[in-house]
Amino acid sequence: MTGTEDTQTSYEGSFGAKEAEAIVKESVDATIGGEDYNKDQVNKWTAAILERCISDLCKLGKQYKYIVTCAVTQKTGAGLHAANSCFWDTALDGSCTVKWENRTMYCIVSVFALSIA
Amino acid sequence: MDEFQAEDETTFVVEEVSKIIKESVEATIGGNTYQHNRVNQWTTNVVEQCLSQLSKLGKPFKYIVTCVIMQKNGAGLQTANACFWDNTTDGSCAVRWENKSMYCIVTVFGLAI
């Protein structure tokens, strides 16, 4: 096995964050698990991760609009900081951010779910 | 004429939002050099300022603001978004800003209530 793959997650809100986390992890592992950072492929990877996440989230059949963001960055020692702020219904809406890494890159995926009902 | 005005008050206007983002970024990090111990405060300030200006617009929208700041040292960074929403009423705006030492990418998503 080449390199370790770690994840950490943070949740906010009352929507099914655990389900979203599982969907994100599967999507990232399936797309870039075991790969090394490759600038020619990274475009395709982020698109593939997003498509799969959105499609699996919609299959949950819940009354939500979704926004999924994905950032992949090469490990070269550069500092990277990401922040989100949301103006929403705190009782119904929620988010889930998953930080994933392997030997050569970091991947940060955030899912925001906004209730339609 | 009245109908046109009403539409402006309930749609996501990209230029307006783009202006708000640029002002927030300039005010927070314009002229600064990347500093590891301050970047946390910077990203927080950028998103908070954006959100506060957006909510002052008084439109019937929920907002999500994301901000990424990255040091310039040659590393590759790719960001992408996908949205499952109502195409007729919702919208987003992304602004990419940079100076000599860092990149800052801010994205605002507006979803009609």
Distance CA A75, CA A37 (A): 8
A78·B70 Cβ contact <8 A: yes
What is the DSSP annotation of A46-108? HHHHHHHHHHHHHHT--SEEEEEEEEEEE-SS--EEEEEEEES-TTT-EEEEEEEE-SSEEEE
Q: Structure pTM? A: 0.85
Taking only the tens place, the pLDDT of each residue in B35-90 is 999 999 999 999 999 999 999 999 999 999 999 999 998 888 899 999 999 999 99
- Is B75 within 8 Å of chain A by CB? yes
Q: What is the pLDDT along chain A (117 residues), one digit of tens a residue?
A: 444 566 777 776 567 888 999 999 999 999 999 999 999 999 999 999 999 999 999 999 899 999 999 999 999 888 888 889 899 998 899 999 999 999 999 999 999 999 987
Query: Chain B residue closest to A51 (CA)?
Result: B82
- Is A9 within 8 Å of chain B by CB? no
A82·B84 Cβ contact <8 A: no
Which residue in B35, B59, B84, B86 has the most chain A C-beta atoms within 10 A of its own C-beta, making it the best mutation to test that interface?
B84
